[in-house]
A and B are shown apart, each in its own frame.
Chain A
Amino acid sequence: MEIKSMHFKARAAAQLANAGLQANLKKVKGKFVDKRRDAIADFCAQGGDFEALREAGEDLRDRVLADLDLWLEKFEANATARGATVLWAKDGAEACRLIVDIAKQHDVKKATKSKSMLSEEAGLNQALEAAGIQPVETDLGEYILQINDNEAPSHIIAPVVHKSKEEIADLFARVHKKPRLTDIGEMTREAREVLRSHFLSADMGISGGNFLVAETGSVALVTNEGNGRMVTTVPKVHVVITGIEKVIPTLEDLSLMLRLLIRSATGQPISNYVSLLTGTKGEGDFDGPEHLYYVLVDNGRSNLLAGEFNAMLRCIRCGACMNHCPVYQAVGGHAYGWVYPGPMGSVLTPLFTGMKNALDLPHAATLCNQCGVVCPVKIPLPELLRKLREKQVEKNLRPLGERLALKAWAWVAARPALYHLGTRFAVRYLKWLAGGKQSIPVLGVAPEWTVGRDFPAPQGKTFRELYAQAKKS
């Protein structure tokens, strides 16, 4: 996917000015935040300990990442033993090449797809189209985006959360060339009718993978629409595209991760469908693919393994961090300008696409830690964002003015006499600006502050001055 993260600020401003989007974004809270809270309350009411579960999830993911190569080899051996072919891609371009080659080899004209963020990372749809293969998104949200001129998703599990029902009704009427429907059930039925023929006529199915289970060589898929089952079992070829970090050791581990993932993502105790797919269609099986491929993509992940950002590889793509992020809630996913939005996206985008492409993202956070406390695998997102800020400073990537201002401020703050002289001057200046009022409507030294709010006037003298006076008297 094209990177537009360098334009975060302008994109965010456009989203803030978009009244329709702002109304749609208000749904995020009720839809995800409240549901997650209720699901966890239920879990605890039944005697569960969600905090202990998060700790277990963190431990498990760390354990896997410490020996990632071994677990991947184990997965490869077991998947291969069950008839699958495991292929490795160092980046998105290689993943696309491998999948186009597979498609050509099997004479594929049309590929149905279930949701995969890695496919977005790799730009797979464009690569398939360029090779004359028709990709058809079958996740309802992804389908909506695809028929709307391949619009980018704005959320990792709810890709059209930025759209209203009305907008989708208009889109369906235009693209399906049918009378406009507004009942969600009817609209879904209409989309399903369109998709049904694609399901039956596709020669290849492409899915993502929520987890790869090493001991059985299986892939686990968590979905709510059932499209994943059609994609993975009807066509003769099934390709799984996912990141190398998605492996976990055992089925027992899978049950732990599912408990964490689904409650954190949608607030359901379990999703409508959990598919565990192992190997190709065997003798006597009614369904399943004749050919099964795993395309396991690195795309920057292995670079993180040994470094200070390795905790980010624990991520299981639940979306809780963005749902709870005040910045995401205000500007939506498109502002972030690449595949992954919200706190996890602000960490991953600079790491995967290069620091310089996303200078704003690590700074576009209040460090409130509403993300860190909900992350099911306890990724310290604010700390990672702060570390990225440090990297920018180390690499001299911050604007000169900002660097100088910080240096000058810190230099003065280390010299109390000078600092106190400076603050005495500053409060008097601010007081003068306020001109007897309680608020300063335009602040020249920090213009950003006063775009959307006043700057309260200072009391008039520094604490230090007043304290010295009080002590004397």
Chain B
Amino acid sequence: MRVALFVTCLVDLMRPRIGFAAIRLLEAAGCEVIVPESQTCCGQPAFNSGDRAAAAMLAKKVVAEFEAHEYVVAPSGSCADQIRNEYPGLLADDPDWHDRAVALASRVFELTDFLVNVARIDKLPSDFTGTLTYHDSCTGLRSLGIKSQPRQLLDRLPGVTVREMSGAEECCGFGGTFSVKFGEISAAIAERKCDNIRSVGADAVVGGDLGCLLNIEGKLRRMGDETPVLHIAEVLAGSR
């Protein structure tokens, strides 16, 4: 299988190691990984801010960059959803681009979903040990149905125990541009999430979307809590 990695803008900027972990996992699953060079961002900030024109422009760019590949995988539920479920509507006015977006859509996957359901990964390259708690990011969970996939994978690591926090499916308060437009509200929501994380008493909190993870990490640190906040790819690839 040939897989093009959609790195995501946040991973590119903030946590490159997540991108490398994703590559490691995809290769462990027997995939050949290509990283298209000119990629930047899927356009969610524009799309969710109401700037449809800018979002459509970036959508076309992504479609053109990735449509030649067999599969596209992103270490993020919200970016995968954007390409998979939003691009066709966003490009609906332009029949040619719309068709290209539709043709691409069904080949775009969130990383854990791809590993479990498409590549059917066998051995995970990780010797990670400890008790983890998993935060379900909203878009991955409610738009792509990412729930059991990361847990199935974590279950295969002999040294790992998953302890569920209460309200694992509740929003962490990130919301993209919401977090910088309504900082106080966003942080108040994050505080509830972090209270739940702290009361479960795990060695680390894990999730599949870096935006949420940065929000959670930022709030935990402000609360004086040093619990590691990890992307699922880092745990599964054992690169910590």
The residues of A with any CB-CB pair to B shorter than 8 Å are 9, 12-13, 16, 326-327, 329-331, 363-370, 372-373, 386, 388-393, 398, 402, 406-407, 409-410, 413-414, 416, 419-420, 423, 426-427, 438-439, 441, 446-456, 458-459, 461-467, 470
- Interface residue? B185 (CB, 8 A): yes
Nearest CB on A from B3, distance (A): 15
Q: Decide yes or no: A331 and B185 within 8 Å by CB, A369-B142, A456-B217, A467-B35 being known contacts.
A: yes
Q: Roughly how many angstroms separate A391 CA and B52 CA in the complex, as a whole number?
A: 10
Known: A9-B182, A365-B175, A448-B183. A330 touches B189 (CB 8 A): yes
Query: When A367-B48, A373-B142, A449-B218 are in contact, do A464 and B12 touch as well, CB less than 8 Å?
Result: yes
Pick the contact of A393: B39, B45, B51, B180 (CB < 8 A): B51
Contact check, A456 vs B13: say whether CB atoms are below 8 A apart. no
Residue of B9, B57, B185, B188 with most chain A CB atoms under a 10 A cut-off = B185
Is the CB–CB distance between B37 and A452 below 8 Å?
no
Given contacts A367-B178, A393-B49, A454-B222, 16 further A-B contacts (CB under 8 A): A12-B185, A326-B171, A368-B171, A369-B139, A402-B49, A406-B51, A410-B57, A416-B38, A419-B40, A447-B183, A456-B214, A458-B14, A459-B16, A463-B7, A467-B16, A467-B20
Q: In the complex, A456 Cα to B220 Cα: how many Å?
A: 10
Give the contacting residue for A452; candidates B58, B181, B190, B217; CB below 8 A. B190
Please tell me which one of the listed residues A327, A438, A459 contacts residue B221 in the complex, with CB atoms under 8 A apart.
A438
Residues of A near B54 (CB, < 8 A) are 406-407, 410
Q: With both chains docked as a complex, state the minimum distance between the C-beta of B216 and any C-beta of chain A, in angstroms.
A: 9
Query: Within 8 Å CB of B9, what residues of A?
Result: 413, 423
Decide if A413 touches B58 in the complex (CB within 8 Å). yes
Residue pair A389, B40 in contact (C-beta under 8 Å):
no
Q: B184 at the A/B interface (Cβ < 8 Å)?
A: yes
What are 18 A-B interface contacts by the 8 Å CB criterion? A366-B173, A367-B48, A393-B50, A406-B46, A406-B54, A410-B58, A413-B41, A416-B39, A427-B13, A452-B190, A452-B219, A453-B215, A453-B218, A454-B217, A456-B221, A462-B13, A462-B16, A466-B20
Nearest residue, chain B, Cβ from A448: B183
C-alpha spacing A366/B141, complex, angstroms: 14
Other-chain contact of B181, A409, A419, A448, A459 (Cβ < 8 Å) = A448
Q: Is the CB of B12 within 8 A of A363?
A: no
Interface string of B17-56 (1 = CB under 8 A from A): 1011000000000000001011111010111111110110
The residues of A that contact B50 with a CB separation of less than 8 Å are 386, 388-393, 398
Smallest CB separation, A47 vs chain B (Å) = 25
Closest residue of chain A to B170 (Cβ to Cβ) is A326
User: A370–B182 contact, CB under 8 A?
Assistant: no
Q: Does B113 contact A (CB under 8 A)?
A: no
Complex: A331 Cα to B186 Cα, angstroms: 11
Q: A392-B50, A393-B49, A414-B61 are in contact. Are A452 and B19 (CB under 8 A)?
A: no
Q: For chain B, residues 177 to 209, give those with C-beta under 8 angstroms from any C-beta of chain A.
A: 177-192
Chain A residues with CB under 8 A of B11: 463
- Quick check: B184 and A13 within 8 Å, CB to CB? yes
Q: State the CA gap A465–B11 with chains docked (Å).
A: 12
Given A369-B143, A453-B187, A456-B214, residue A410 in contact with residue B51 (CB < 8 A): yes
- Judge if B138 is at the interface, Cβ distance under 8 Å: yes
C-alpha spacing A466/B45, complex, angstroms? 25
Q: Which of B146-183 contact A (CB under 8 A)?
A: 170-171, 173-183
- Note all chain B residues with C-beta closer than 8 A to A326: 170-171, 173, 189, 192
Tell me whether A451 and B49 are in contact (CB under 8 A).
Answer: no
- Cα–Cα distance between A398 and B54 once the two chains are bound (Å): 15
> A402 — which chain B residues lie within 8 A by C-beta?
49
Q: How far, in Å, is A240 (CB) from chain B's closest CB?
A: 38
Q: Do A364 and B171 touch across chains, with their CB atoms under 8 A apart?
A: no
Shortest beta-carbon distance from A356 to chain B in Å = 15
Task: Name the residue among B51, B54, B177 with the largest chain A CB count within 10 angstroms.
Answer: B51
Closest CB in chain B relative to A379 CB, distance in Å:
15
Interfacial chain A residues near B123, Cβ < 8 Å: none
Candidates B7, B139, B180; contact of A448 at CB < 8 Å: B180
- The interface residues of chain A lying within 8 Å CB-to-CB of B184 are 12-13, 16, 448, 451-452
Say if the beta carbon of B15 comes within 8 Å of chain A. Answer: yes
A453 partner, pick from B41, B48, B171, B221, beta carbons under 8 A: B221
Which residues on the A side are within 8 Å of B180 (C-beta)?
446, 448-449
Q: Is the CB of A414 within 8 A of B58?
A: yes
Within the complex, what minimum Cβ distance (angstroms) separates A30 from chain B? 12
A389's closest neighbor in chain B, by CB?
A: B50
Which residues does chain B contribute within 8 Å of A447, judged by CB atoms?
183
Residues of chain A within 8 A of B171, CB atoms compared: 326, 366, 368, 370
B124-153 residues at the A interface, CB under 8 angstroms: 138-139, 142-143
A416 near B179: Cβ-Cβ < 8 Å: no
A363 / chain B contacts, CB cutoff of 8 Å: 177-178, 181-182
Question: Residues of A contacting B175 with CB < 8 Å?
Answer: 365-368
- Return chain B residues, CB-CB under 8 Å to A330: 173, 185, 188-189, 192
Nearest-neighbor residue (CB-CB) of B214 within chain A: A456
- CB nearest neighbor in B for A8: B182
Q: Check B138 against A370 for contact (C-beta < 8 Å).
A: yes
Q: Which residues of B contact A439 (CB under 8 A)?
A: 217-218, 221
Which residues of the partner chain B approach A373 to less than 8 Å between Cβ atoms? Answer: 142
Residue with the greatest number of chain A CB neighbours at <10 A, chosen from B58, B143, B186, B191:
B186
Q: Which residues of B contact A450 (CB under 8 A)?
A: 183, 218
Contact in complex: A327, B189 (CB < 8 Å): yes
In chain B, what residue has the closest Cβ to A440?
B218
Q: Which of A9, A368, A453, A464 contacts B222 (CB 8 A)?
A: A453
**Distance (Å) between the CB of B116 and the closest chain A CB?**
23
Bound complex: CA of A415 vs CA of B9, how far in Å? 14
